């Protein structure tokens, strides 16, 4: 069986950044992704990114993706596409990664393996939620920005995190109307500047509201909203009916951790980061030796933090492979931590910082 | 009704005045100037690098609010298209005796035409007044973000922040 120094599952910003660090250190690294094109979420992000200048803030997501891809090509990283990974098995030589390619089962051993599989969108259940026209916000975003198809004309968005706000904006740019953005919590979850964009376009934001039901024969026709009290109970008499053909759900992400469970990683439960998270240490290494996690799988955050975590796991794996001395690795890792900690400050970042600290404490306590 | 950026998505005048992104009343009288309507501590700083005159400082940590130096700001407008939050505007209060100029990023089609009279809206997108389109700026450097400037009655220089989107719901 083929054996390389490192195998990375998932070619999003985290996986690509990890591969770049390992290749830079001189390691042989293979990235495996189930899609036909690497880049993960980045290629549907047509907006200019936040973050610092080092994270190419102000640059559109897909341009960041193109840049990462170029770097991997220049460094000779091998990328296997259209290849879903379905299994991880411990092996005396490392970890065996099983995947499908061209209809055939294949496997490769990585001395070190990094899981950068990202996260999946959460669903929401209400009467009518199975009607055609109800979809994830990320799904709508893929339709408009990758496939160039408008999912509908009149959209109701549920969820006021940055995903709900940004996708609402992009739906309007694509020519749809966003009639309302509904948020169950008493305040807006995402950045005010993103909310400001859709407000300027005339979209109302209803905080303390949810969807009561969706009506329609064969597809979404009407959407009934209702106000919620502080205990998230519906307030009778506050219903309002809107005519719409599309409902987009943006109520959070759950890390795609199946492979980590399979490999026998220990988990902890942190709602703020998306639920069950594989416990990992400062090097992003899980409780399974030689198996690392990076990006949304290690707690759903942002592309900027995903790239930094990717770099961190890559440097740590390279160090474990003896491609870096402990001293060099220490300097490189400290640089990453400085940038990452800066991203996790402020009223939005602080909570994630605290959650990540809690995670690291769990890792230490568990050993 | 409670208001404020966390509830409505729109910063109130009090919230704006409390930030270091808004210049003094005297500075507005002088000439065109940038108005930074970024009131939350988010991890973001492209505005700082965008200004060739060093008039915007975010510093460290990156979540600091952007601070404008009203003496250094020449009102050139280069920062507007670099802000991913589309939160910076350019305002010339005394454009004429009775009108002001307001410039904002606008990322929708169709674009209006220069010289056209268009409905102008506030931070909630609702109609405030008619305005005349002065200029449409689109350069490669702006990477897809278009800047539109309008001439509006002077009393609205702190209110008009967009044109009502054509084909929009209102
Ligand atoms: C609407 C929206 C707007 C956003 N805006 C911003 C922003 O402005 N700034 C910012 O910093 N971040 C933003 N983000 C967040 C950012 O996109 C994600 O945090 C980031 O993409 C996570 O990177 P990742 O590499 O962990 O995962 P992903 O980008 O999701 O990549 C994971 C990859 O792994 C592949 N994969 C998963 N499982 C398998 C398997 N079993 N086998 C093979 N391949 C697999 C997937 O197909 C995918 O290609 C936004 C996200 C959304 C949805
Ligand atoms: S308008 Fe010009 S001078 Fe003023 S802050 Fe913006 S870039 Fe700097
Ligand atoms: S670039 Fe825009 S959103 Fe970012 S800090 Fe500056 S003003 Fe705020």
Contact A311, A318 (CB under 8 A): no
Q: Are residues B62 and B27 in the same domain?
A: yes
Query: 10 Å Cβ neighbour count for A319?
Result: 20
Cα dist from A75 to A13, A243, A295, whole Å: 16, 53, 21
Please give the mean pLDDT across all residues of chain B. Answer: 93
Is B9 contained in some domain? no
Residues in chain A: 367
Q: Please report the residues numbered 93 through 152 in chain A whose beta carbons come closer than 8 angstroms to any beta carbon of chain B.
A: none
d(CA B44, CA B49): 11
pTM value? 0.91
CB contact under 8 A, B124 and A343: no
Query: What integer pLDDT is reported at residue A206 of this predicted model?
Result: 97
Q: Are residues B39 and B66 in the same domain?
A: yes
Q: Is the peptide bond before B67 cis (omega within 30 degrees of 0)?
A: no
Query: 10 Å Cβ neighbour count for A175?
Result: 12
Is B14 contained in some domain? no
Q: Are strands A29-32 and A78-80 parallel, antiparallel or unpaired?
A: parallel
d(CA A361, CA A38): 33
Q: Are residues B80 and B143 in the same domain?
A: no
Q: What is the CATH number of the domain that holds B74?
A: 3.30.70.20
Confidence band of B139 (pLDDT split at 50, 70, 90):
confident
* DSSP state at residue B154: G
Tell me the average pLDDT across B127-147. Answer: 92
Tell me the average pLDDT across A233-254. Answer: 97
How many domains, chain B?
Answer: 2
Domain boundary (B92, B113, B148) is at B92
A3-120+253-365 and A123-249 have identical folds: yes
Q: Are residues B102 and B170 in the same domain?
A: yes
Q: Are residues B121 and B104 in the same domain?
A: yes
A12 C-alpha to center of ligand 1: Å? 6
Tell me the average pLDDT across A142-153. Answer: 93
Query: What integer pLDDT is reported at residue A347 of this predicted model?
Result: 81
* DSSP state at residue A93: T
The residue segments making up the domain with residue B106 are 97-170
Give ∠ CA A256-A257-A259 in degrees, rounded to 5: 115
Q: Per the structure block, which two tokens stand in for A36?
A: 């036909």
Given this structure, which CATH class describes domain A3-120+253-365?
Answer: alpha beta
Is B114 contained in some domain? yes
Structural domain boundaries in chain A: 3-120+253-365, 123-249
Ligand 3 is surrounded, with C-beta below 6 A, by A 193; B 36, 38, 44-47, 66, 83-85, 87-88
- Residue A110 distance to chain B (closest CA, Å): 36
Query: 10 Å Cβ neighbour count for A108?
Result: 20
Query: What integer pLDDT is reported at residue B80 of this predicted model?
Result: 96
Half-sphere exposure of A157 (CA within 13 A, CB side): 35
At residue A349, the 3 state secondary structure works out as helix
Give ∠ CA A129-A134-A140 in degrees, rounded to 5: 155
d(CA A194, CA A166): 7
d(CA B163, CA B125): 8
Instruction: Give residue-wise pLDDT tens across range B77-86.
Output: 999 999 999 9
Instruction: Give residue-wise pLDDT tens across range A272-306.
Output: 999 999 999 999 999 999 999 999 999 999 888 99
Domain boundary (B62, B92, B122) is at B92
Query: What integer pLDDT is reported at residue B166 of this predicted model?
Result: 61
Which residue from B27, B71, B75 has its CB within 8 A of the most atoms of ligand 2, so it is best to mutate?
B75
Query: What integer pLDDT is reported at residue A283 of this predicted model?
Result: 97
The CATH label, of 3.60.150.10, 3.20.20.70, 3.40.50.970, 3.50.50.60, for the domain at A123-249 is 3.50.50.60
B116 C-alpha to center of ligand 2: Å? 27
Contact A279, A265 (CB under 8 A): yes
d(CA A49, CA A45): 8
Q: Is the pLDDT of residue B168 over 50?
A: no
Tell me the average pLDDT across A310-315. Answer: 98
Is B145 contained in some domain? yes
Which residues have CB under 8 Å from A100's CB, separation 6+? A83, A84, A86, A106
> Which of B9, B43, B124 minimizes the C-alpha distance to A160?
B9
CB contact under 8 A, A199 and B60: no
Query: What integer pLDDT is reported at residue A53 of this predicted model?
Result: 67
ipTM of the modeled complex: 0.95
Q: Per the structure block, which two tokens stand in for A297?
A: 């799988």
Query: 10 Å Cβ neighbour count for B143?
Result: 13
Which residues have CB under 8 Å from A142's CB, separation 6+? A44
Confidence band of A366 (pLDDT split at 50, 70, 90):
low
Is B2 contained in some domain? no
Residue of B nearest to A47 (CA): B84
A203: chain B residues, CB-CB within 8 Å: 125, 169
Contact A194, A162 (CB under 8 A): yes
Query: 10 Å Cβ neighbour count for A91?
Result: 15
| DSSP one-letter string for A22-89 | HHHTT--EEEE-SSSSS-GGGGG--SBP-B-GGGTTTSBHHHHHHHHHHHHHHTT-EEE-S--EEEEE
Q: Are residues B113 and B158 in the same domain?
A: yes
Q: Are residues B119 and B167 in the same domain?
A: yes
Confidence band of A55 (pLDDT split at 50, 70, 90):
low
At residue A169, the 3 state secondary structure works out as helix
Is B104 contained in some domain? yes
Ligand 1 is surrounded, with C-beta below 6 A, by A 9-15, 32-35, 40-41, 45, 49-51, 84-85, 116-118, 138, 141, 162-163, 166-167, 256, 295-296, 301-304, 306
Q: Are residues B105 and B169 in the same domain?
A: yes
d(CA B41, CA A346): 5
Is B158 contained in some domain? yes
Burial class of residue B113 in the structure, from the number of CB atoms within 10 Å of its CB (0-12 exposed, 13-18 middle, 19+ buried): exposed
């Amino acid at each position: 069986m083929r054996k390389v120094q490192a195998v990375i599952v998932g070619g999003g910003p985290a996986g690509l950044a990890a591969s770049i660090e390992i290749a830079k250190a001189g390691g042989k690294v293979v990235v495996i992704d189930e899609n036909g094109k690497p880049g993960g979420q980045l290629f549907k992000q047509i907006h200019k990114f936040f973050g610092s200048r080092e994270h190419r803030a102000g640059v559109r997501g897909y341009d960041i993706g193109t840049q990462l891809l170029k770097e991997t090509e220049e460094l000779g990283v091998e990328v296997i596409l259209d290849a879903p990974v379905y299994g991880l098995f411990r092996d005396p030589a490392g970890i065996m990664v099983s995947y499908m390619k061209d209809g055939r089962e294949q496997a490769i051993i990585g001395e070190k393996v990094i899981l950068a599989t990202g996260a999946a969108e959460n669903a929401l259940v209400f009467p009518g939620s199975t009607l055609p026209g109800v979809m994830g916000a990320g799904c709508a975003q893929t339709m408009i920005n990758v496939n160039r198809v408008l999912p509908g004309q009149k959209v109701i968005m549920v969820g006021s995190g940055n995903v709900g706000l940004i996708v609402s904006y992009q739906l309007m740019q694509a020519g749809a109307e966003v009639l309302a953005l509904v948020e169950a919590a008493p305040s807006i979850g995402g950045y005010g500047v993103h909310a400001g964009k859709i407000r300027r376009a005339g979209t109302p934001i209803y905080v303390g509201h949810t969807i009561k039901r969706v009506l329609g024969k064969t597809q979404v026709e009407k959407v009934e909203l209702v106000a919620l009290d502080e205990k998230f109970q519906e307030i009778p008499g506050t219903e309002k009916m809107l005519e719409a053909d599309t409902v987009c759900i943006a109520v959070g992400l759950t890390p795609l951790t199946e492979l980590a469970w399979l490999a026998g990683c220990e988990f902890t439960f942190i709602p703020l980061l998306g639920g069950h998270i594989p416990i990992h240490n400062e090097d992003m290494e899980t409780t399974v030796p030689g198996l690392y996690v990076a990006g949304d799988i290690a707690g759903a955050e942002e592309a900027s933090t995903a790239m930094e975590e990717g770099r961190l796991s890559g440097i740590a794996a390279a160090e474990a492979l003896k491609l870096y001395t402990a001293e060099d690795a220490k300097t490189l890792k400290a640089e990453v931590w400085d940038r990452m900690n800066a991203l996790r400050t402020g009223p939005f970042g602080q909570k994630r910082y605290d959650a990540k600290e809690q995670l690291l404490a769990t890792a230490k306590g568990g050993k | 009704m409670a208001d404020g950026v966390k509830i409505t998505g729109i910063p109130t005048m009090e919230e704006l005045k409390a930030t270091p992104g808004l210049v003094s009343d005297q500075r507005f009288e002088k000439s065109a100037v940038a108005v930074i309507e970024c009131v939350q501590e988010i991890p973001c700083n492209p505005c700082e690098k965008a200004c060739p005159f060093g008039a915007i400082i975010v510093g460290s940590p990156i979540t600091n609010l952007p601070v404008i130096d009203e003496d250094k700001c020449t009102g050139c407008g280069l920062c507007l298209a670099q802000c991913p939050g589309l939160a910076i505007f350019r305002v010339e209060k005394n454009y004429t005796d009775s009108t002001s100029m307001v410039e904002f990023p606008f990322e929708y089609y169709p674009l209006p035409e220069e010289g056209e009279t268009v409905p102008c809206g506030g931070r909630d997108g609702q109609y405030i007044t008619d305005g005349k389109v002065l200029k449409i700026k689109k350069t490669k450097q702006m990477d897809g973000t278009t800047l539109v400037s309008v001439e509006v009655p002077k009393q609205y220089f702190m209110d008009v922040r967009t044109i009502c989107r054509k084909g929009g719901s209102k």
